[in-house]
Amino acid sequence: MKPELLRAFARSLIVQASWNYDRMVGVGVAYVMEPLLRDLGGAQAELRYRRALTRVASFFNAHPYLTGMAAGALARAEHDGLPEAQAERLKNALIGPLGSVGDQLVWAGWLPLSAAAGLIVAATVSPPAGVAAFLLGYNAVHLGLRAWGLAIGWRSGIGVAGALAGRMLQLGVRFGALAALFAIGVALPLVLARLAEGFQARERLAALVVGGLGLVISRGLAPTVSGVKLGLLFLLSALVAGWIWR
């Protein structure tokens, strides 16, 4: 593998370090792309190198694991001598698909699926086994996706959109969230049964009532309340009740 690609891959692991509301991940993607532009040839290579970095750093947003695909494709386009206006259009055209495919594939699919699988193993085998299953499974796909994205972007350049339409990716987008929902469904009773082992019937009933009430609040009465706030509301109420009960 080309050393510049390895360098770009290593840099992609901190692509979001300077994430901000103005340029989002633009600075990070320019930082990832920079090693791939160092050997730009032809006339005005230094000027093109700098203008490419400026263009990407001005604004970019995508799923972090797929930013390497954008960096690779945009760098390849520079090597291929794509006119500036077209390179700008390519950059803008990648933002939406790389964001939505990545979000559906990873955040709504692979991450909850892996976490639920980890919970199932933790509840049925042992917590360390659950941790190992989760980290190994999740990161095999995570790192594979980063490496594949960078390599395919670098290879495809302006034709990178074809890679996003690939069969495996589309299957992942289509079925990832469904598989995650199934796995979360399996995990919930197993984890609850495991965690409630030390409770008496009275406390189990309390947990059941709170669970039902919490679901009614979060799905019906106040759907914008976050899980953290809902949890704090209930726990604060329990704390006050416990204090009085003491």
Partner 1 sequence: MNLAPLGLWLWGALAGLDLVALGQFMVGRPLVAGTVAGFLAGDPAAGALLGMTLELFALDVLPVGAARYPDYGPATVAGTAAAAGAPGLLGLGPGVAVALVVAYLGEWAMQVVRRRNSADVQHHRPELDAGDPASLRRLQLRGLLREAVRAALVTAVGLVLAAAVRRWLPLGVGASVLMGAVGLGVAAAVAAGGALRLSGRGGARAWFAAGLAAGALWVAAR
Token pair 């300077």 is at which residue?
18
Site for partner 1 in 223-242 (CB under 8 A): 226-232, 234-239, 241-242
Nearest residue (CB) to partner 1, 165 versus 205: 205
Instruction: Find the binder of partner 1 among 9, 65, 148, 154 (CB under 8 A).
Output: 65
CB atoms within 10 A of CB 176: 20
Least gap, CB of 90 to partner 1 (angstroms): 18
> Per rule CB under 8 A, is residue 51 in the interface with partner 1?
yes
Site for partner 1 in 24-43 (CB under 8 A): 24, 27-28, 30-31, 34
Beta bridge partner(s), residue 20: 24
**Cα–Cα dist 144/129, whole Å:** 22
> Per rule CB under 8 A, is residue 125 in the interface with partner 1?
no
Q: Which stretch binds partner 1 (CB under 8 A): 14-22, 72-80, 85-93, 152-160?
A: 14-22
> Per rule CB under 8 A, is residue 50 in the interface with partner 1?
yes
Q: Is 42 left (phi over 0), alpha (psi -120 to 50) or beta?
A: left
> Per rule CB under 8 A, is residue 10 in the interface with partner 1?
no
> Per rule CB under 8 A, is residue 96 in the interface with partner 1?
no
**Cα–Cα dist 55/65, whole Å:** 21
Number of H helices, E strands in the chain: 11, 0
Q: Are 184 and 116 within 8 A, CB to CB?
A: yes
Instruction: Find the binder of partner 1 among 142, 147, 156, 163 (CB under 8 A).
Output: 142
> Per rule CB under 8 A, is residue 19 in the interface with partner 1?
yes
**Cα–Cα dist 99/92, whole Å:** 12
**Cα–Cα dist 183/185, whole Å:** 5
Nearest residue (CB) to partner 1, 162 versus 243: 243
The distance of Cα 45 from the centroid of its chain, to the nearest Å, equals 35
Rg of the chain over Cα atoms, rounded to whole angstroms, equals 23
> Per rule CB under 8 A, is residue 134 in the interface with partner 1?
yes
Instruction: Find the binder of partner 1 among 6, 125, 135, 171 (CB under 8 A).
Output: 135
Instruction: Find the binder of partner 1 among 5, 8, 36, 53 (CB under 8 A).
Output: 53
